[in-house]
Amino acid sequence: MDNHPEGCGGGAKRPLWPLILLVVAFASSALFAQYQKKPPDFGGIYSFPTPTHPEPRGIVLLSLDVAMLAVGLGLGAYFVLKRRSRNATLLLSIAAIAYFGFYRKGCTCPIGSIQNVTLSLVDPHYLISPGVIAFFLLPLIAALLFGRVFCGGVCPLGTVQDLVLLRPMNVPRKLDRVLRWIPFVYLAVVIFFAGWGLPTVTSSGKEIVLRRFLICEWDPFIGIFRLSGPFHMLAIGAGFLMVGMFYGRPYCRWLCPYGGLLSILSRVAWKNVTVTPDKETYCGMCADACPYGAIHDYNADRATCVSCARCYECCPREIVRLRREGIPAKRYVSVPGGRGPA
């Protein structure tokens, strides 16, 4: 309007454009009126329904997840360190698969929370929920106190591999030692991609920083818990389970970045698995029974022991203790590949 000075001053030569605009506006409104309709007035016979919006998980249910995790960790520590019972640990792990795996469909999990925590530390505007913080911290605290009880009985990813372990075989010590570094490399890559990411140019030419949650994208077991998923996830999951039938917990030992964190902290755990309840007999059956190669020099290595409680079952001194205390002692458990009595 301002760029038509002659329209205001002269008066003789009026610009045509407002008229044209008016005509176009009328024409287009007439055109639109053909298609667009206002909601009709139904009088009293009809009231407009409001579309339903299913609520996301409420605060109570989110707190329940954290409570279940805390209870699971407590029970895990109790079953492994106090009760020294493989069966109880097994039951706990099945419950964990049912709740954190199939019911919660694998989210939230402490493994993935590494990425949220990294991103929150890098970018203060990132929304991080208190539940995720609790899921990140609780298993680490438990590791400082009782070792990797999270891995043993609570983590659905770990316990699902534990369940498929049918015929444990040993990995050469040297190879194992090399493979154990992969989690730390993976952890570094994961932290980099979650916190900083790679700058990329989108198809529309826009420059963006692509932060990715690699753990979640390549999670091998979440597709199994959801009973659906992208092909690469399901294929990797099936692969890990297949390898896991012979080599115990391949994901936990050689890939899981959270397992890497836990192994650092559990090195100085306050309490940890002590195989023999009293006197060392140097029989070495526990080392044969351990599918994870975590027993060296007749002691459970705090960094690698995942608190599965398998070693107790084949410890002769443990059987003696149980008999003495009047608890019906189980048979020696023969471990394939081991030399324990059948």
Partner 1 sequence: MSETNTRRKFIDTTCRIIGFAALGGVGAVLTTRASAHAVFQVDPLKCTSCDLCRTSCVLSLSAVKAVNEFSKCGYCMLCPAYMDVTSAPNEKGVPSGKVCPQDALKRRVVGKEDLDDPNNNYYEYSVDEPKCTGCGKCIKACKPPFGNGSLRLEIRYDRCVTCNECSILIACPEEAIVRVPAPGLSPLLTQGETANG
Contact at 8 Å (CB) between 220 and 232? no
Question: Around Cβ 3, how many Cβ atoms within 10 Å?
Answer: 5
Dihedral of CA atoms 304, 305, 306, 312 in degrees, nearest 10, equals 160
* Neighbouring C-alpha atoms within 13 Å toward the C-beta of 19: 3
Q: How far is CA 157 from the centre of its chain?
A: 8
- The correct pick among 2, 8, 13, 37 for binding partner 1 (CB under 8 A) is 37
Cα separation, 129 vs 80, in Å, equals: 31
Q: How far is CA 109 from the centre of its chain?
A: 3
3-state secondary structure of 110: helix
Q: What is the DSSP letter of 129?
A: -
Cα separation, 326 vs 203, in Å, equals: 72
Q: Applying CB under 8 A, does 199 fall inside the site for partner 1?
A: no
Tell me which residue of 217, 112, 219, 221 sits closest to 163, measured CA to CA. Answer: 221
- The correct pick among 49, 205, 326, 328 for binding partner 1 (CB under 8 A) is 49
Q: Applying CB under 8 A, does 87 fall inside the site for partner 1?
A: no
- The correct pick among 36, 173, 207, 231 for binding partner 1 (CB under 8 A) is 36
Residue 198: phi and psi, rounded to 5, are -105, 135
Q: Applying CB under 8 A, does 263 fall inside the site for partner 1?
A: no
- The correct pick among 3, 5, 10, 42 for binding partner 1 (CB under 8 A) is 42
In angstroms, give the least distance from the CB of 127 to partner 1.
Answer: 4
Q: Which is nearer to partner 1, 67 or 327 (CB)?
A: 67
Cα separation, 111 vs 133, in Å, equals: 12
- The correct pick among 212, 271, 317, 330 for binding partner 1 (CB under 8 A) is 212
Q: Which is nearer to partner 1, 16 or 45 (CB)?
A: 45
User: What is the separation, in whole angstroms, between the first and last Cα of the chain?
Assistant: 98
Cα separation, 197 vs 193, in Å, equals: 4
Structure tokens at 192: 């980099």
Q: Which stretch binds partner 1 (CB under 8 A): 12-20, 138-146, 251-259, 321-329?
A: 138-146
Q: Applying CB under 8 A, does 202 fall inside the site for partner 1?
A: yes
- The correct pick among 1, 127, 166, 209 for binding partner 1 (CB under 8 A) is 127
- The correct pick among 10, 124, 205, 328 for binding partner 1 (CB under 8 A) is 124
Q: Applying CB under 8 A, does 108 fall inside the site for partner 1?
A: yes
Cα separation, 77 vs 138, in Å, equals: 13
Q: Compute the residue count for the chain.
A: 342
- The correct pick among 14, 57, 232, 331 for binding partner 1 (CB under 8 A) is 57
Q: Applying CB under 8 A, does 54 fall inside the site for partner 1?
A: yes
| 167-196 footprint of partner 1 as x/- string (CB under 8 A) | ------------------------------
- The correct pick among 66, 144, 320, 333 for binding partner 1 (CB under 8 A) is 144
In angstroms, give the least distance from the CB of 140 to partner 1.
Answer: 6
Residues forming the site for partner 1 (CB under 8 A): 31-32, 35-40, 42, 45-46, 48-51, 53-57, 59, 62, 105, 107-108, 112-113, 115-117, 120-121, 124, 126-131, 133, 136-137, 140-141, 144, 202-204, 212-213, 216-217, 222-223, 226, 228-230, 233, 265, 267-270
